[in-house]
């Protein structure tokens, strides 16, 4: 039997199970992603998408299975700043008294000393990241005064400043304006060319077809996983969404 | 300026300072207010008001036991404060009872235990001073302990200032970049227990939660910057303490209650007149839209 070289995979989640006080949220889920791959995570509300992200960031402990990041443990991936998480707009306190600059600087915290003093290189990384998301004129704006799209871009900038090779994005396109959507699309292409690995959850079929090389359909466990063209079929989608047809979910054109 | 026929502003401020106990009370209460005010920013942003209430009440039996055994009361308070939170977490996890209910029943249980212990343990513990504070009757050993604990909390909060801000704002990101969230959680809890202990000397166990919440809430209405929020919070806490003590001295009022009332009035003032988030400003904003 051919032995698997785990270092080939950026993300290798094997049979992971997560339960919250005995209530199963995700079971026997598998995922393998290589550098430069973009994978869509699709499922109903409560199907375990956020739980999957929580497991991959180490925010919840998995009760069974194994997660390897670049062939190493999750803990060493955290130490190396390998994974960046971009939350949903609803997932953050928008009234928190903090500026765009300070949020993006948080992307550098993991590589700073204990006082989190910014070095010259950190300041440059933050500046570059904010430039890439086109928010340079909003540096000191409190996040509460930003639009949904600008807020999304702020958190993308944090992930860029972190220089993570794996990006986990929870609903990156929800609640954003056209300009932000276009900017995120362009960033995805750049990230792919830079060899970053992206896992994004979305409710939008068109985005899956447009950006994702791979798609992971989940409903508490993996319903189907593979190349988008092969896996993203009406039958699989119907199974994922508990028997509801894709026409009903996304309109007849899709 | 004449305040009353017999009292000028000068003598209003100066006369109390001729008393040793007043100087001590003003200094210690300001220190305690500063510590609680500093912590208050984090608690307000983290949404830990109820947790502050729980911990501050739960330290009661710890204080009593420590007094009885001749140990530093901070030690007893710390054990029971953190213990109550651990118990809250345990019951919440193992039962279907909702979190706010669990918090309510655990801290009242601890508090009741404290009251029963006071009545049982024959010692010189003054229940009234624990419940309502006694900033005017603070002993020398209490002064030393208060200064030590206050410094400890300020140093801890200063070292981990940014980490705690991140923990309050986005704990998942903190975890993702390898920051020890478990440590930060218990650090904040430890500071909360310690601040409750020093705070209860000023205003007593029942009102100490006000010291831990009100200054932060006031500051939250006045700024959009975290650093400014901590500064405003600390200042408003110190000013309230000074006002409270002076007013209680001149009008013969309960000191703890006066301090907390002063805080409440400052909050109400911010609530009405804050330049951005005051209700008058918001009303005007809506009127402009029409």
To the nearest whole Å, the CA of A93 is away from the closest chain B CA by: 7
CB atoms within 10 A of CB A180: 22
Using CB atoms, which residue from A85, A96, A102 is nearest to B176? A85
pLDDT per residue rounded down to tens, chain B (290 residues): 555 656 788 888 888 899 988 999 999 999 999 999 999 999 999 999 999 999 999 999 998 898 888 888 778 888 999 899 899 989 988 888 999 999 999 999 999 999 999 888 866 677 888 888 888 878 887 888 889 999 999 999 999 999 999 999 999 999 999 999 999 999 999 899 999 988 887 788 888 999 999 999 999 999 999 999 999 999 999 999 999 999 999 999 999 999 999 999 999 999 999 998 888 887 777 777 65
Chain A residue with CA closest to B223: the answer is A97
What pLDDT was estimated at residue A130? 97
**Yes or no, beta carbons of B177 and A21 under 8 Å apart:** no
A117 is written with which tokens?
């003093």
To the nearest whole Å, the CA of A252 is away from the closest chain B CA by: 38
Quickly state the pLDDT bin for A38 (edges 50, 70, 90).
Answer: very high
Summarize pLDDT for A134-150 with one digit per residue, the tens: 999 999 999 999 999 99
Chain B residue with CA closest to A21: the answer is B93
CA B196/CA B40 separation, integer angstroms: 11
**Yes or no, beta carbons of A59 and B175 under 8 Å apart:** yes
What pLDDT was estimated at residue B225? 95
CA B215/CA B235 separation, integer angstroms: 8
First to last CA, chain B: 46
- H-type alpha helices, chain B: 9-17, 20-46, 49-69, 73-94, 99-120, 127-132, 140-159, 161-169, 171-176, 181-203, 208-222, 226-251, 255-273, 279-289
Structural domains for chain B:
27-280 (1.10.3470.10)
Interchain CB contact of A248 with B (< 8 Å): no
- The residue with tokens 């951005």 is B276
Spatial contact of A158 and A129, defined as CB atoms under 8 Å apart: yes
CA B118/CA B114 separation, integer angstroms: 6
Interface test with B, best of A58, A83, A109 (most B CBs within 10 A): A109
Residues of B in contact with A110 (CB under 8 A): 177-179
Chain A residue with CA closest to B163: the answer is A116
What is the mean predicted confidence (pLDDT) over A216-224? 92
How many residue contacts between A and B have a Cβ separation below 8 Å? 76
**Yes or no, beta carbons of A97 and B220 under 8 Å apart:** yes
What pLDDT was estimated at residue B4? 60
Taking alpha carbons only, the member of B228, B234, B242 closest to residue B212 is B234
Spatial contact of A103 and A143, defined as CB atoms under 8 Å apart: yes
Chain B residue with CA closest to A106: the answer is B166
ipTM tops the 0.85 cut: yes
Quickly state the pLDDT bin for A160 (edges 50, 70, 90).
Answer: very high
Reduced to 3 states (helix: H, G, I; strand: E, B; else coil), residue A214 is strand
Residue B116 to residues A116, B127, B154, Cα–Cα distance (Å): 46, 11, 33
To the nearest whole Å, the CA of B142 is away from the closest chain A CA by: 32
Question: Please, what is the Cα angle at A59 between A193 and A183, to 5 degrees?
Answer: 30
Spatial contact of B199 and B28, defined as CB atoms under 8 Å apart: no
Rounded to 10 deg, the angle between the B73-94 and B49-69 helix axes is 130
**Yes or no, beta carbons of B223 and A114 under 8 Å apart:** no
**Yes or no, beta carbons of B170 and A59 under 8 Å apart:** no
What is the mean predicted confidence (pLDDT) over A225-232? 91
What pLDDT was estimated at residue B284? 77
Spatial contact of B167 and B188, defined as CB atoms under 8 Å apart: yes
Interchain CB contact of B173 with A (< 8 Å): yes
Interface test with B, best of A54, A82, A106, A165 (most B CBs within 10 A): A106
CA B285/CA B290 separation, integer angstroms: 9
Question: Burial of A253 by CB count in 10 Å (0-12 exposed, 13-18 middle, 19+ buried)?
Answer: exposed
**Yes or no, beta carbons of A87 and B169 under 8 Å apart:** no
Ranges A24-38, A74-88, A91-105, B119-133: which has the least confidence: B119-133
The residues spanned by each domain of chain A are 1-82+165-254, 97-163
What pLDDT was estimated at residue A254? 46
Strand (E) or helix (H) holding A222: strand A222-227
Residues of A in contact with B225 (CB under 8 A): 97-99, 142
Rounded to 10 deg, the angle between the A178-193 and A148-162 helix axes is 20
To the nearest whole Å, the CA of B268 is away from the closest chain A CA by: 20
Summarize pLDDT for A49-87 with one digit per residue, the tens: 999 999 999 999 999 999 999 999 999 999 999 999 999
Interchain CB contact of A142 with B (< 8 Å): yes
Q: Which CATH number fits domain A1-82+165-254: 3.20.20.60, 3.40.720.10, 3.40.250.10, 3.40.50.300?
A: 3.40.50.300
Interchain CB contact of B179 with A (< 8 Å): yes
B125 is written with which tokens?
């513990």
């Amino acid at each position: 039997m051919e032995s698997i070289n785990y270092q080939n995979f950026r993300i290798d989640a094997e049979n992971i199970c997560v339960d919250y006080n005995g209530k199963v949220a995700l079971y026997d889920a598998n995922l393998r992603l290589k550098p430069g791959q973009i994978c869509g995570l699709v499922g109903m509300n409560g199907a375990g998408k956020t739980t999957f992200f929580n497991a991959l960031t180490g925010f919840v402990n998995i009760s069974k299975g194994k997660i390897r990041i670049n062939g190493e443990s999750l803990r060493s991936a955290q130490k190396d700043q390998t994974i960046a998480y971009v939350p949903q707009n609803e997932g953050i306190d928008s009234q928190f008294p903090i500026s765009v600059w300070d949020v993006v600087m948080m992307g550098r915290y993991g590589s700073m000393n204990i006082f989190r003093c910014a070095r010259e290189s950190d300041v440059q990384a933050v500046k570059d990241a904010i430039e890439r998301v086109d928010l340079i004129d909003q540096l000191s704006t409190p996040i509460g005064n930003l639009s949904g799209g600008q807020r999304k871009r702020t958190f993308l900038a944090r992930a860029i400043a972190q220089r993570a090779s794996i990006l986990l994005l929870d609903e990156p396109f929800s609640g954003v304006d056209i300009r932000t959507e276009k900017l995120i699309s362009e960033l995805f292409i750049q990230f792919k060319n830079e060899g970053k690995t992206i896992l994004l959850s979305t409710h939008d079929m068109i985005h899956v077809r447009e950006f994702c090389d791979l798609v992971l359909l989940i409903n508490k466990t993996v319903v189907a996983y593979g190349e988008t063209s092969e896996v993203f079929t009406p039958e699989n989608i119907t199974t994922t969404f508990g028997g509801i047809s894709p026409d009903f979910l996304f309109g007849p054109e899709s | 300026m004449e305040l009353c026929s017999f009292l000028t502003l000068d003598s209003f401020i100066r006369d109390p300072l001729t008393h040793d106990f007043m100087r001590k009370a003003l200094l210690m209460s300001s220190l305690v207010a500063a510590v609680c005010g500093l912590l208050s920013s984090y608690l307000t942003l983290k949404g830990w008001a109820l947790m502050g209430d729980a911990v501050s009440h739960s330290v009661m039996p710890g204080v009593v036991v420590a007094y009885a055994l001749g140990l530093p009361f901070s030690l007893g308070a710390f054990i029971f404060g953190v213990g109550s939170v651990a118990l809250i977490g345990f019951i919440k996890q193992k039962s279907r009872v909702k979190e706010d209910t669990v918090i309510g029943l655990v801290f009242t249980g601890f508090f009741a235990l404290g009251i029963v212990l006071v009545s049982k343990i024959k010692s010189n513990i003054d229940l009234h001073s624990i419940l309502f504070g006694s900033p005017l009757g603070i002993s020398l050993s209490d002064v030393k302990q208060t200064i030590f604990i206050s410094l400890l909390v300020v140093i801890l909060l200063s070292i981990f200032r940014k980490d705690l801000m991140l923990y309050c704002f986005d704990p998942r990101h903190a975890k993702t970049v390898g920051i020890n969230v478990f440590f930060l959680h218990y650090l904040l809890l430890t500071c909360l227990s310690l601040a409750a202990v020093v705070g209860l000397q000023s205003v007593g166990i029942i009102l100490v939660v006000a010291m831990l919440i009100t200054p932060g809430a006031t500051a939250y209405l006045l700024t959009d910057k975290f650093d400014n929020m901590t500064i405003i919070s600390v200042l408003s806490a110190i000013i309230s303490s000074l006002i409270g003590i002076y007013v209680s001295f001149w009008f013969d009022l309960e000191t703890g209650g006066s301090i907390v009332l002063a805080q409440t009035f400052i909050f109400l003032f911010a609530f009405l007149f804050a330049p951005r988030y005051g209700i008058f400003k918001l009303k005007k904003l809506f009127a402009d839209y029409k």
